[in-house]
Structure 1
Amino acid sequence: MLKIGEFSRLGQVSIRTLHHYDEIGLLHPKQIDHESGYRYYSVKQLEVLAQIVLLRELKFSLKEIKILIQQDAEIMTAALLEKERVIEQEIQQDRFRQQQIQRMLKRMQQQKNYQISIKSIPAFQVISYRKKLKTFYHEGLFWEEFIEQLKDQKIAYPSDPKKSLTIFHDQEYLEEGVDVELAILLGRKTEVQPPLKCRQLTAIKFAATLFVKGNYHQLPEAYEAFAQWLELHPEFTMEKAARQICHVGPEHTDNSEDYLTEIQIPLNSLTLTQREELSSK
Structure 2
Amino acid sequence: MLKIGEFSQLGQVSIRTLRHYDEIDLLHPQLVDEESGYRYYSVKQLEVLAQIVLLRELKFSLKEIKSLVQEDPKIFTAALLKKDREIEKEIQRDKYRQQQIHQMIQRMQHQDKYQVTIKKIPAFSVISLRKKIKSFYHEGLLWEDFMEVLENQQIAFPPEADQNLTIFHDKEYLEEGVDVEVAIISDKEVEEPLQRRRLPELEQAAIMYVEGNYHQLPEAYQSFAKWLDEHPEFEMVKATRQFCHVGPEHTDNPEEYLTELQIPLIPLTLT
Smaller-chain TM-score bracket:
0.7 to 0.9
Give the letter for the 1:131 counterpart.
K
d(CA) in 2 for partners of 1:92, 1:140: 21
Letter in 2 for 1:118: K
Rounded to whole Å, the distance in 1 between the matches of 2:254 and 2:188 is 34
Mapped contact 2:118–2:204 kept (Cα < 8 A): no
1:216 to 214, 217, 222: 214
The correspondence of residues 3-152 of structure 1 with structure 2, limited to 5 A, is 3-32=3-32, 38-105=38-105, 108-110=108-110, 111-122=112-123, 124-133=125-134, 135-152=135-152
> Quick one: distance in 2 between partners of 1:19 and 1:149?
70
> What is residue 181 of structure 1 aligned with on the other side?
181
Q: Residues 17-49 of structure 1, C-alpha deviation per residue, up to 9 Å, x if partnerless?
A: 334434554334445567765544333221111
CA distance in 1, matches of 2:179, 2:29: 60
Q: CA deviation at 1:252?
A: 0.7
Letter in 2 for 1:58: L
Deviation per residue, 1:189-217 (Å, 9 max, x gap): 4113xxx3315365244332211122223
Unaligned runs of 5+ in 2: none
Within 5 A, what are the aligned runs for 1:200-239? Answer: 200=197, 202-203=199-200, 204-239=202-237
What secondary structure sits across from 1:191 in the alignment? coil
Determine the C-alpha separation between the residues in 1 that align with 2:187 and 2:218.
Answer: 33
**Pairwise CA RMSD:** 3.2
**Which amino acid counterpart does residue 65 of structure 2 have in structure 1?**
I
Q: Residues of 1 paired with 2:31 and 2:105: CA distance?
A: 59
Partner of residue 279, structure 1? none
Letter in structure 2 aligned against 1:237: E
Q: Is 1:266 aligned to 2:267, yes or no?
A: no
Residues 55-89 of structure 1, C-alpha deviations (whole Å, 9 max, x = no match): 23334343443333233233333333333333334
Using the alignment, how far apart are the partners of 1:118 and 1:101 within structure 2? 34
How does the TM-score come out when normalised to structure 2?
0.80
Contact 1:208 1:265 in 2 (8 A): yes
8 Å contact from structure 2 (residues 190, 196) kept in 1: no
**Does the aligned pair in 1 maintain the 2:124–2:185 contact within 8 Å?**
no
Taking structure 1 as reference, are residues 42 and 259 closer, same or farther at Cα in structure 2, changes over 3 Å only? same
Structure 1 length-normalised TM: 0.78
Name 2:195's counterpart in structure 1.
198
- Give the aligned partner of residue 250 of structure 2: 252
8 A contact 1:161–1:248 mirrored in 2: yes
Given that 2:32 and 2:40 are in contact with CA atoms closer than 8 Å, whether structure 1 keeps it comes out as yes
Q: Specify the SS of the correspondent of 2:251.
A: coil
Q: Distance in 2 between matches of 1:181 and 1:28?
A: 67
Q: Give unmatched runs, 5+ long, in structure 1.
A: 277-281
